[in-house]
Amino acid sequence: MPLTLTVRLPYCKPHELKHYFCDLAPLLSLACADVTPVNTANQSASTIATLFIPIFILLMYIIIIYSIMKIKTKQGRSKAFSTCSSHLSTVILFFSSVFCCLCCAKRTA
């Protein structure tokens, strides 16, 4: 949705960004028109994605833990929890780094 709105904006400033990749904020700074609808759509989509993905992952881990608790042998549960904990630490590491990059980074146009 934000991409569709961004493509339709008129651009009157130089069409060159000094960035490694085309980020939305610097691109919107080149627009001549009001970018409020694009910012609103982007904020809404970001909020939904930010809330949905961690909740979905948490729900999946609850289901996994519930399934692991059904394993009858202690050795089987231990092995399953060992695998699950390494995956969980990877997920936490990934999302914490993404969070730091998106929320803690200095925003420049």
- Please tell me the total count of domains within the chain: 1
Residues 6+ away with beta carbon under 8 Å from 61: 84, 88
Find the domain containing 53 and state its range.
Answer: 2-103
Tell whether 12 is covered by a domain: yes
Q: What pLDDT shows up at residue 70?
A: 93
Q: What pLDDT shows up at residue 109?
A: 45
Low-confidence residues of the chain, pLDDT below 70?
A: 1-3, 13, 19-22, 102, 104-109
Tell whether 76 is covered by a domain: yes
- Render 55-109 in DSSP notation, one character per residue: HHHHHHHHHHHHHHHT--SHHHHHHHHHHHHHHHHHHHHHHHHHHHHHHSSPP--
Tell whether 47 is covered by a domain: yes
Tell whether 56 is covered by a domain: yes
Tell whether 109 is covered by a domain: no
Tell whether 108 is covered by a domain: no
Tell whether 77 is covered by a domain: yes
Q: What pLDDT shows up at residue 62?
A: 92
